[in-house]
Amino acid sequence: MFALPSDYVIAQNAGKTFAADYYGRLSVSAESVTDLFTECSRYYSMDSLDGRPTVGRSGAIREVRRFLSTYSGFVSGFVKIVSVDEQTNGDEWAKKNFGSNDGRSDDDYVFH
C-alpha cells in the first residue's frame, strides 16, 4: 500500500467535517419542524376560539395559521408552505379549477 497525498487527506477530513455539520444541522431542522407540527396538531382537532371541533380542511388550516401567527419569525417564510388554503381554498375552488370545463383545466388541452 502507498500513502495517500497529504492534500487528499486534508480534503477528505474537511469533507467529513462538512458532511457531519451539514447533516447535523438538517437533523436539528427536521426535529424543529416536527416539534412545530406536534404543537400545531393540538389545533387541528379543536377550535382555539370557542372550543368547538374544527370542520373540514379550511378549519384546520385556519387554526394552523392562527397558531403560526403567534410565531412572527416563522410567518414570513413558513406560512407559504403551510397555507395550502391559498391553493385549494376548500371544495369550491377545487371543483372550479381541477377537472372542470371552464377553459383553464388540463382536460381542455388537445395534444397533436
pLDDT, tens only, 32-84:
666 666 665 555 544 445 555 555 566 666 766 776 666 555 545 544 454 44
Q: Are 69 and 75 in contact (CB under 8 A)?
A: yes
Rounded to 5 degrees, what are φ and ψ at 90?
80, -170
Residue carrying C-alpha cell 372542470: 100
Please give the torsion angle defined by the CA atoms of residues 105, 107, 110 and 111, in that order, rounded to the nearest 10 degrees: 100
For residue 39, the tally of other CB atoms under 10 A from its CB is 13
**Comparing C-alpha atoms, which of 30, 65, 59, 32 is closest to residue 47?**
59
- Alpha-carbon distances of 49 from 53, 55, 77, 96, rounded to whole Å: 10, 14, 25, 31
Please write the tens of the pLDDT for every residue from 10-28: 777 777 777 777 666 666 6
* Size of the chain in residues: 112
- Is the predicted pLDDT of residue 30 greater than 50, yes or no? yes
pTM of the full structure: 0.22
